[in-house]
Structure formats: structure tokens, C-alpha cells
Amino acid sequence: MTVGPDPAAGPGAEPAPGADAPADAPAGSASTLRKRIGRVAAASAVAIVVGQLITVVQTVVLARILSPTEVGLFAAGSVLTAFAGTFVEGGLRSGLVHREDQVDDVAETVFRATLLSGTVMTLLALAAAPVIGLIFDDRTAGVVAASMAGGVLLMSLVNVPEALLQRQFSVLRRLVVGPSVSIVFAVVSVTLALMGFGVWSLVIGSYASTLTWVGTLWWICDWRPGRGRPTIRLYRELVSYGAPLAIGLFADQGTKSVQAFITGGLLGVQNLGLFRYGERIALIPVGVIVEVGANSLFPAYSRISGDLERFRAAYLRALTLVVVVGAAMSAALASVAVPLVVVVLGEEWRGAGLVLVGLAGLGLGTAVSTSAEAIKGAGRTSLLNYVTALEVVLGIGLLALLAWTAGLFGVGLSITLTTWVAAAVLLAMARSVLGLRWRPVLGAILPTVLAASLAGVAVYALESQVLDSAGRDLAVALAFLVVDGLVYLLLYAVLLRVLAPRAARTVTETAGPILRKALRRG
């Protein structure tokens, strides 16, 4: 995260020895870059494990305290905040990550631009809050929306330190920020929920976690406003690079807003709460892929984009690894989705299990979609506009159709199908940009997907025909779910070795050195 040692940076600054190399330094050898990516990926894995454990516990506890309607009110009230936040970032953060020169000037330009847009969008979100109450026919939803507006301004403060840390392959960014945010939200929201604050426990917890996010980022980062000189020229260059990404963010959040409006308006606020909790569980594997993989890949691809052969090899290797993880998580989740939700959250949340079945494929779709990082790294961001348009049209169309015909399951399935189609298009685009043939690209995906699917079908049969976890006492049910997980891992490992030996070797070659190093340190 640091751009060099600075005594004024405070106690959170990373020391120069052993710190991440400057982002504008030469890329170095392939092994050096792999080590840097591996170090960040390992740190991300640790942070993800800690953060997701906290999230799982917090999700379960809150589900036992709050009702689906209260969660639905928070989801409805949060629509404006997420939507307005897309205008604040505007693709400028990615432009800063990708930039090779004038880093201080670019950082200053991004900081001032996002702070100004954050202020404007906060005021607009506050003014538009009553509309939320009208759309969902619930005054509380409008009040929640108004109270959440300040979060837009707070989030505008994270763009520069986040980008600088990502440029630096910062380990501290992973080990400190994410777990801290998760802990604060869990402690604050659960405590207030137990005290009877209802939906407001989530609102206050959200503010507390956002403040923690801002504070920890600036504590670690040694860059401070005033070091660079902002210019209109730099802003235009950043907008030119980031515009397709901003359009993508806008379209993504716009589609999610429509999801909330259709789900809450058509199926009711209670079902919106069930949808959000099913989505939250489905996003756990997605978060693993994004945090451990995609966030490390973009800056790495940006540094090696001038060496095409090296770029191709890195892309195929990364694609193989993320698909191994994504396919496994999707198939495993699909095989036990409903009993998992019923056992862990309770019978009143069964509808979230139906959502989770529909959303189970997100892990695989997100893994293949990391091809977008290669397109961004190659500087071909304009190609992403086509994917954005496809996601908006297909996503809203499928949502309206499937929500009407298949309820909560249809809402989840519409998102998965949209993600898969977009992932296929991104895969084709990345292959074209890198000049790869289809055989090695598909070879990195299809055998692994087959292995994961067969393991998932076997575990589904075991769960539905033999174990029936949802019909057991809690202790027995949890034990049976653990059995499901262990059986899946065993079958997947065997099938991966048989059906996808190249992927199995890649996993072994990547994980082996990391485990040996960890054992030596231990």
C-alpha cells in the first residue's frame, strides 16, 4: 500500500524492508511477480477465512433475532446508497491502479473528484429517499433510505487508499481491513439487535463498519492529500480509461436495484429479505474468488501486458485455479442449499434456501468472469461495454420472467444465468485479446466443471435419499452437513485427478510451495 517509507505516515505505514515493491517499479521476473501475487493471495485467503467465519456467525445470529421483513426493509433502504455509490467511484479507482506514471498527481485528482461527487450523490440520495417508501409501500423503508445516505460520502473516501494498496499488492490491506470491517459490523449489529433495535441495528452496524473501512485504509496507507497536483487533463485520461468500467458498475447496481424493486414489489418486502439472505450466503464463495483472485490479477496483468507470452501463460494458469475453486463451490452449494439454510437459519428462512439453489452457480460464473481482469490489464476496457449492455438487457428480462413464473428460485436463477452468459462472452473476448486458441482455454474449464458436477450430484443423492439433514435434530443435522462436505471434498479431489489432471497439477504446484513455507514458519 505504501509508496515508500514516510515517517509522517503514522504507525500503520508499512516499513520499507520486506514491504510491497512500488507499483511503478519494473515488473521483474515471472517468479518475482508470482511470489508477490502468491503473497497477496495467501494473505487474502487468511483474511477471507477470518472474515467469512465472522460473517457466517453474524448472519446466523441475526437470522435468529431479526425477521425476514426487517432484513427486507434494510435491503430496500440500502438500494439508493449502493446505486449512488457507483457514480462516486466512476471507474477512477481502476484508472489509478492501471496508471504507470504521475501517481501522486493522479491520486490527488481521483481523491478530489470522488470527494466532490460523493458529496453531490449523498444529497441526491437523501432527496430521493421518500421515493423508496412509495415504491415499497412502506414508510420505514423510506426513512431507512434517508438515514443510509451519509454512507455514500463515507465510501467516497476509500477509493484512493484502496487503489494504492491494490497497486502495491499490499498484504496488510488484506489482513487488517477486511477482518476489521467484518468484526465491527458483527459486534455492533448483533449487540443492537439483541437490544431490540430491529432494522436499525443493521443501519448503525453499516455505518460503524464503513467508518472502520475508511479508518483502517487511511491508517495503513502513507499517501495523504496535498502531495500531488490535480489536473483536468489527468481527470479526462482517467475517465477515458475508466468510463466503460463506470458504465459497468452503474449497470450492475442499476440491475440490482431493479432486482430489489421487482422482488420487493412483486413478492413483498418479506421475500426481499429472504432473497437478500440467500444472496448473502451465495456471495461467500464469490467473495473468496474476487478477494483472493481477481483483485490480485488486475494489477499483475497490468504489469505484464507488454509481454504477450508471459501474459497468456499467466492468464491460463489463473483461469485454471479460479475455476477449480469456483466450480467446487457452486456444485457443493447446489447439492445442499435448502437443508443448509433450514438447519442453520431456521425454518422461517426456507425461502432463502430456494434463492440459494438458484444462485449456486455464481461461484463458477464469477471464476470465468475473472477474464475481465485480463481485458482491463490489456487496456481494452471499451470491450466491457458490450458485456454491460448484455447483462442489463438479459438480467432484467430474465428476472421479470422468472420471478413471475418461479418466485424466489426464479429470482436467483435469473442472476446465475445472466452471470454465465456474461462470463462466456468475457472468456471469448479475453481469448481474442490474448490471441489464444480455444483448446487450452476450454481445457482449463470443462474437465474441472465435469468433476465438480459429478461430485455435486453424488452428494445431492446422499443428502436427499439418505441423510435428510433438515429433518434431524440440530446436532445431528450439523454433523450430517459436515459429512456432506467431507464426502464432496473427497470425491472432487479424486475426480479432479482423474478427469482434470492438468488442473490438479496446477493446484498442487501452486499450493505446495505455500504449504511448505507455512509449515517451515510454523
In a domain, 92, yes or no: yes
- 360 phi, psi to nearest 5 deg: -60, -30
Burial class (CB in 10 A: 0-12, 13-18, 19+), 518: exposed
Contact 177, 46 (CB under 8 A): no
Is 12 part of a structural domain of the chain? no
State if pTM tops 0.75.
no
Domain co-membership, 121 together with 201: yes
Domain end among 213, 234, 255: 255
Indicate if 440 and 309 belong to the same structural domain: yes
The DSSP secondary structure of 104-141, one letter per residue, reads HHHHHHHHHHHHHHHHHHHHHHHHHHHHHHHHTT-HHH
Given 227, 255, 283, the domain boundary residue is: 255
DSSP state letter for 14: P
- Determine the pLDDT at residue 501: 94
Q: Is residue 23 part of a domain?
A: no
- Same domain for 469 and 374: yes
- CA angle at 211 for the pair 206 and 214, rounded to the nearest 5°: 125
Domain termination site, one of 224, 255, 286: 255
Q: Is residue 415 located within the same domain as residue 310? A: yes
Cα distance between residue 495 and residue 449, in whole Å: 10
- Using a 10 angstrom Cβ sphere, with 0-12 exposed, 13-18 middle and 19 or more buried, the burial of residue 233 is exposed
Cβ(4)–Cβ(16) below 8 Å: yes
Closest-CA residue to 45 (of 289, 217, 220) = 289
Structural domain total, the chain: 2
234 and 347 fall within a common domain: no
- 96 close to 245: Cβ distance less than 8 angstroms: no
* 157 vs 342: CA distance, rounded Å: 39
How far, in Å, are 9, 177, 184, 263 from residue 225 at the CA level?
Answer: 12, 20, 27, 42
* Within a domain: 310: yes
* 519 falls within a domain: no
3 is a domain residue: no
**Are 274 and 355 within 8 A, CB to CB?**
yes
CB-based contact 132:258 (threshold 8 Å): no
Q: What is the pLDDT along the chain (522 residues), one digit of tens a residue?
A: 333 333 233 333 333 323 333 334 344 455 555 555 555 555 556 666 676 788 788 888 998 899 999 999 998 888 888 878 777 777 788 788 877 778 889 899 989 999 999 999 999 999 999 988 888 888 899 999 999 999 999 999 998 998 888 777 666 776 788 788 989 999 999 999 999 999 999 999 999 999 999 999 999 988 899 888 888 998 888 888 877 777 777 777 777 888 888 888 778 888 889 998 898 888 877 776 766 555 678 778 888 888 899 999 999 999 999 999 999 999 999 999 999 999 988 889 999 999 999 999 999 999 999 999 999 888 888 888 889 889 889 988 998 889 888 888 999 999 999 999 999 999 999 999 999 999 999 999 999 999 999 999 999 999 999 999 998 998 999 999 999 999 999 999 999 999 999 999 988 887 666 555 544 554
Kindly state whether residue 517 falls inside one of the protein's structural domains: no
Q: What is the pLDDT of residue 31?
A: 54
* Residues 329, 335: Cα–Cα separation, whole Å: 10
d(CA 190, CA 362): 28
Domain match, 503 and 374 both: yes
C-alpha cell of residue 213:
473501512
284/250 same-domain check:
no
Cell, residue 387: 458485456
State the amino acid at position 215 in one-letter form.
G
Judge if 280 and 219 occupy the same domain. no
**Residue pair 280/333 in contact by the 8 Å Cβ criterion:** no
244, 382 contact by CB (below 8 A): yes
In this structure, the answer to whether residues 473 and 384 fall within a common structural domain is yes
Judge if 373 and 494 occupy the same domain: yes
* Domain range for 335: 268-512
Whether residues 221 and 285 share a domain: the answer is no
* HEC letters along 334-392: HHHHHHHHHHHHCHHHHHHHHHHHHHCCHHHHHHHHCHHHHHHHCCCHHHHHHHHHHHH
For residues 247 and 280, membership in a common domain is answered with: no
Q: How many CB atoms lie within 10 A of CB 454?
A: 17
CA distance between the termini of the chain: 26
What pLDDT is stored for residue 336 in this prediction? 95
Only one residue has cell 452449494, namely: 333
* 296 falls within a domain: yes
